[in-house]
Amino acid sequence: MVDDPSGHQRPITGHEGALARCARHDRRVTAALDDLLVILDLEAIELNTFRGFSPAKEGTIRVFGGQVAGQALVAAGRTVASLDGPPRLVHSLHAYFLRPGDPQIPILYQVDRIRDGRSFATRRVTAIQHGEAIFSLSASFHVAEEGVNHQAPMPDAPDPETLDDWQSRLAPSIDNDGEPLERPKAIDMRPVDEPIRVRPDEAVRAPRYRVWFRANGKLPDDPLLHACVVAYASDLTLLDTTMLPHGLIWEGRGSQASLDHAMWFHRPFRADDWLLYDQQSPSASGARGLATGTIFTRDGTLVVSVVQEGLIRTARQGRV
């Protein structure tokens, strides 16, 4: 048995045992990243059915969207890994956030095996709580093939080692005791631009935000896990970009919630190496904002593209 991050006990799966041993015996893995690995390592309870848990955090009223997306991708990938032939790696996902997730109870993930072809496999995953769907994801997996190759260039950015981490950049603008900022983070984030969600008098800015990020420790050599960690991280700051031109911040004068999320995985990468996340918002209207992101490796290789639409309501419109 193992204590999951929500405080419940459950059996250790074979895959989870390998991940947990790798994490806990590797001093390069922080405790926060260790917890994230356990969260992403679902319990198989029946054929095509998995159970996931949420971390125990005081004051949390809904499940973080990146967590659900990462767990759903794990569920989809587990059913593809058993196929015969060369490995099929995730190349795209399209997801809808349907209802807020309850962090106090497990999430059930049901996988539909839509198609298993020689080159592609397609999966549909539904996340369920209280008998209702809270999240839906479709993912496609592809055998590696040779083909034409081009990409957009990486924007200029200073090296991540020259930048303070997200907590340090935010600390001078936080009025409380700063305890949440001191808590270890599974994702090491180094903002290139002024961090979003800083001050109640946030100035109007162009809808662009660049940040370096990586897993806060060494990860096992599992391409699916690296994709799931990036899926988790991709939801941390993307939608905030839509609020910059309006002088809004995450708390106080505005609130937001993810509606849908899409990702395309172009080339191999490691989530424990530095990745530059260039985020922009081309449009906001009708209480919805659209944000796009491109993720580059340190050598300038474009590895992931992200698009998200979210609900944005100001104080005059009420709560999300």
CA distances from 275 to 214, 240, 293, 302 (A): 6, 19, 12, 10
Token pair for 172:
């001078």
Choice among 67, 258, 279, 280 that is catalytic: 258
235 is catalytic: yes
Ramachandran area for residue 287 (φ above 0: left; ψ -120 to 50: alpha; else beta): left
Q: What is the DSSP letter of 236?
A: T
Q: What are the backbone dihedrals phi and psi of residue 298, each rounded to the nearest 5 degrees, phi first? A: -65, -25
Q: Which helix (H) or strand (E) holds 142?
A: strand 132-143
Choice among 71, 279, 280, 308 that is catalytic: 308
Query: What long-range pairs does 174-178 form, CB within 8 A, spacing at least 24?
Result: none
**Contact criterion met (CB below 8 Å) for 48 and 111:** yes
**Contact criterion met (CB below 8 Å) for 191 and 171:** no
Choice among 235, 240, 272, 278 that is catalytic: 235
Q: How far is the C-alpha of 105 from the C-alpha of 45, rounded, in Å?
A: 16
What are the strands, taking DSSP E only, across 168-243? 187-191, 208-215
Just list the catalytic residues: 235, 258, 308
